[in-house]
Amino acid sequence: MKTAFIFPGQGAQAVGMGKDFYDNFDAARKFFDEADDALGYSISRMCFDGSEDDLKLTANTQPAILVVSVIVSELLKAEGVTAQIGGGHSLGEYSALVAAGSLKFRDAVVLVHKRGQFMQEAVPVGEGSMAAIIGLDDATIIDICAAASAVGEVQAVNFNCPGQTVIAGRTAGVEAAVDKLKAAGAKKAVILPVSAPFHSTLMAPAAKKLAAELDKVELHDAAFPIAANVNGELETAAAQIKANLVAQADHPVKWIDCVAAMKNFGADVFIECGPGKTLCGFNRRIDRQIKSLNVENLDSLKKTLDALRS
């Protein structure tokens, strides 16, 4: 049996996440304490007792989700459940790289905090947006975005699963694309409550700043292959992983391709490590034959361990 660890991205956060791990495992306390020290503020308090508004700020969301996700992967390892392959959606790719030993935990916490800041700074609030498009094929979405870019730059940026694609760009372009996509037969085209057009070409300034920060940290070859968001290809070499992380900031997330690569590698169990069940939901839409489990709290940890041992 080959197991894939997959890690969620922004949007999976919820106040209270990680608290039962912190209360019950010394390892979880160690990770939260290290993250608090690295950031210079209490991400643990924000996760456990903070306001939703504070937690959903991009520069806070990203390290918060990473900390909880890494804790889950470590708790699974402590129970003898190891990954032979992995991947993560957007910021989740950093969590996957920590699990694979390519990035040090402390470095990753600081990197994703800065990544969130850089992404927010790249486009002033209100000038960029994102929208989820449901029930329309990717080719049509790409063509309509190209046409709507005459009003304002917009493109498809998250290929999440068949029938769900996210677009991003200048607010005027996204709004124009949404109208055109609805007219073309999309079941839904919903503007998302986010503060920046993530993974669009408008994030180029963020990618440039991120490259400078990545130059300051040491990356190692990954202990197991990681499916790269930018191309869906499996990678273990540190130099290519670094290049992928830079490109990822202003390029689309090809999650369908990532799942296909992990499946083709031979993964027959996918465990979503971290808050929420978003990626399990994508898996069902990509291939109903995929066995997907998730761990986000003590209850789901027990259920997943029982399922693996049955």
Among 69, 95, 195, 199, which one carries the catalytic annotation?
A: 199
Annotated active-site residue 292? The verdict is no
Among 44, 73, 90, 95, which one carries the catalytic annotation?
A: 90
| Beta-bridge mates of residue 133 | 165, 189
Annotated active-site residue 220? The verdict is no
Fill in the amino acid letter for 141: I
Contact at 8 Å (CB) between 188 and 132?
yes
Active site residues: 90, 199
